[in-house]
């Protein structure tokens, strides 16, 4: 894959009009978009279908977690929408149900391990017995065993996760910040080039592009930095 196939721009904007304007601004520079909760509840699902119909790839970041039947039913419908990627919280039962429901489709299911906004103290506060790194690796093993298409983790864990999941599974890393960029609310971050070198296959970048004064120039700069690592 080229850099353009690996960059996923997060449309983390408050309105459908802003998302449409961003996609138009970025043009052919970007071919892959993430739609998460913020845009989903502002008409984002219909927009996701439109993007897919226009030939763009769409990563639907829903982080599904529910009883098996509910997860499976949701995955079946999302697969029919033409989405490229979908996130599931990396609980073994939920992942197994999702994998069975997506069988025969082109939908790549991603197991969300530990959010990149969480550090060790956050894990303790949430009642987990594992530190972030240990839990990420445990859930990566479970995702591989369940037959998932990939794992979502921070770039800090990408190398260790790659050793667990092998060369074929996707490793999608949010928390990507160009050198000197503002971390915002992310605690485990890495630059685009370093993330790819560490083992990431796809990079999710939102604020450094969508909040930039010139989003297209920002995306091009990130793609150029990514290319140095490929």
Q: How far apart are CA 35 and CA 58, in angstroms?
A: 7
Query: What is the per-residue pLDDT across 147-187, written as a single tens digit (0 to 9) for each?
Result: 999 999 988 899 999 999 999 999 999 988 886 555 454 45
The predicted pLDDT at position 172 comes to 96
Catalytic entry in 56, 57, 63, 197: 63
The predicted pLDDT at position 156 comes to 87
**CB neighbourhood size of 137 (10 A):** 19
Query: What is the per-residue pLDDT across 21-42, written as a single tens digit (0 to 9) for each?
Result: 999 999 999 999 999 999 999 9
Q: How far apart are CA 83 and CA 52, in angstroms?
A: 7
Report the SS3 class of residue 18.
Answer: helix
Q: Summarize the confidence of residues 42-50 as an average pLDDT.
A: 95
The predicted pLDDT at position 154 comes to 87
Q: Summarize the confidence of residues 220-225 as an average pLDDT.
A: 94
CA torsion sign for 80, 87, 175, 157 is negative
User: What tokens were used for 158?
Assistant: 């990408």
Beta bridge partners of 150: 110, 170
63 is catalytic: yes
Task: Kindly give, in sequence order, each residue whose CB lies less than 8 Å from that of residue 186, ignoring residues fewer than 6 positions away.
Answer: 116, 117, 174, 175, 177
Query: Which residue matches tokens 């910040």?
Result: 177
Q: Is the pLDDT of residue 189 over 70?
A: no
Annotated binding residue at 168?
no
User: What tokens were used for 145?
Assistant: 């065993």
Q: Pairing mode, if any, of strands 85-89 and 202-205?
A: unpaired
Share of the chain above pLDDT 70, in %: 95
Annotated binding residue at 70?
yes
The radius of gyration computed from the CA coordinates of the chain, to the nearest angstrom, equals 17
| In contact, 92 and 113? CB cutoff 8 Å | no
The predicted pLDDT at position 186 comes to 47
Annotated binding residue at 207?
yes
Query: What is the per-residue pLDDT across 52-79, written as a single tens digit (0 to 9) for each?
Result: 999 999 999 999 999 999 999 999 999 9
Q: How far apart are CA 148 and CA 135, in angstroms?
A: 17
Annotated binding residue at 87?
no
Task: Kindly give, in sequence order, each residue whose CB lies less than 8 Å from that of residue 211, ignoring residues fewer than 6 positions away.
Answer: none
Q: How far apart are CA 85 and CA 166, in angstroms?
A: 19
Annotated binding residue at 226?
no
Query: What is the per-residue pLDDT across 118-131, written as a single tens digit (0 to 9) for each?
Result: 888 888 898 888 88
Q: Residue 16, CB half-sphere, CA atoms under 13 Å: how many?
A: 11
Query: What is the per-residue pLDDT across 79-109, written as a single tens digit (0 to 9) for each?
Result: 999 999 999 999 999 999 999 999 999 999 9
The predicted pLDDT at position 190 comes to 84
The predicted pLDDT at position 116 comes to 75
Q: Is the pLDDT of residue 50 over 80?
A: yes
The answer to pTM > 0.85 is yes
Go through the domains of the chain in sequence order and give each one's CATH number: 3-227 (3.20.20.70)
The predicted pLDDT at position 155 comes to 87
């Amino acid at each position: 894959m080229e850099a353009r196939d690996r960059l996923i721009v997060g449309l983390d904007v408050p309105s459908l009009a802003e998302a449409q304007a961003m996609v138009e601004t970025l043009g052919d520079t970007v071919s892959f978009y993430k739609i998460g909760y913020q845009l989903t509840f502002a008409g984002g699902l219909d927009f996701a279908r439109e993007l897919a119909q226009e030939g763009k790839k769409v990563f639907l970041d829903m982080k599904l977690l529910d009883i098996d039947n509910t997860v499976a039913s949701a995955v079946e419908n999302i697969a029919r929408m033409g989405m490229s990627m979908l996130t599931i919280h990396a609980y073994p039962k939920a992942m197994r149900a999702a994998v069975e429901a997506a069988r025969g489709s082109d939908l790549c299911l991603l197991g969300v391990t530990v959010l990149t906004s969480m550090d060790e103290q956050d894990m303790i506060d949430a009642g987990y017995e594992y530190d972030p790194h240990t839990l990420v690796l445990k859930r990566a093993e479970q995702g591989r065993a369940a037959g998932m298409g990939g794992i979502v983790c921070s770039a800090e864990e990408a190398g260790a996760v790659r050793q667990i999941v092998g060369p074929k599974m996707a490793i999608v890393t949010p928390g990507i910040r160009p050198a000197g960029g503002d971390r915002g609310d992310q605690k485990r971050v890495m630059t685009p080039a370093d993330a790819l070198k560490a083992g990431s296959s796809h990079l999710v970048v939102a604020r450094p592009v969508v909040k930039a004064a010139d989003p297209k120039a920002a995306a091009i700069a990130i793609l150029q930095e990514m290319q140095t690592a490929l």
